[in-house]
Amino acid sequence: MKGKLVSNTGPIIALSAIDHLEILKEIFEEVILPEDVHNEILEGGKDFTGLVAYRKATWIRVLSPEAAVEPLLGTLLDKGEASVIQLAREKGADFVLIDERKARKIAREIYGVRVVGSARILVEAKHLGLISNVRAALQGMRSAGYWIHDDIVRSALKQAEEE
């Protein structure tokens, strides 16, 4: 995939929980989090199993959008999702990493931003030889409490040739 990625909270937590956060560094040239997303992750508290992995990921850049979040974004989405799209547009990001359906649709259809999700990242990681099993990674995310729709799981497994 390569290029610049701006990520939302959920995928970072999910990848950290299964100890696969590092794959983002291998897939993308630059990984950026809005400060709002960074704060959401830290506010997850000591119960978040991936917090140690996240804190060690010194390769992730934390930035704040230069301009205030557009009113449309702030009205339709939560603070983290809105700041991901705003920052991606400001920084000319190649991709945003968002799993929530409504935010993905808004990013893609209204703002013309290329969107990827956690499942797609895992498929890409398998194709690059960074992980060996997408099914196990998705099951790990679900076991950690991260919700991924069954249709997305089926599609990812098909793309990973694991169905």
Residue in the block written with tokens 């704040």? 64
Average pLDDT over residues 11-30: 95
> What CATH number labels 4-159?
3.40.50.1010
What is the C-alpha separation between 92 and 73, in angstroms, rounded? 17
The whole-number pLDDT of residue 46 equals 56
Q: What is the mean pLDDT of the chain?
A: 93
User: Sheet of 4-7: strands edge to edge?
Assistant: 60-63, 30-34, 4-7, 95-97, 115-116
* b (16+ CB within 10 A) / e for 76-96: bbbbbbbbbbbbbbebebbbb
Confidence of residue 131 (pLDDT cuts 50, 70, 90): very high
Chain centroid to Cα 16, Å, comes to 11
Q: pLDDT for 48-107, tens place per residue?
A: 667 888 888 999 999 999 999 989 888 999 999 999 999 999 999 999 999 999 999 999
Confidence check: pLDDT of 45 > 70: no
Of the chain, the percentage scoring pLDDT greater than 90 comes to 82
Using CA atoms, how far residue 112 sits from 26, 27, 34, 69, 72, in Å, is 25, 22, 19, 16, 15
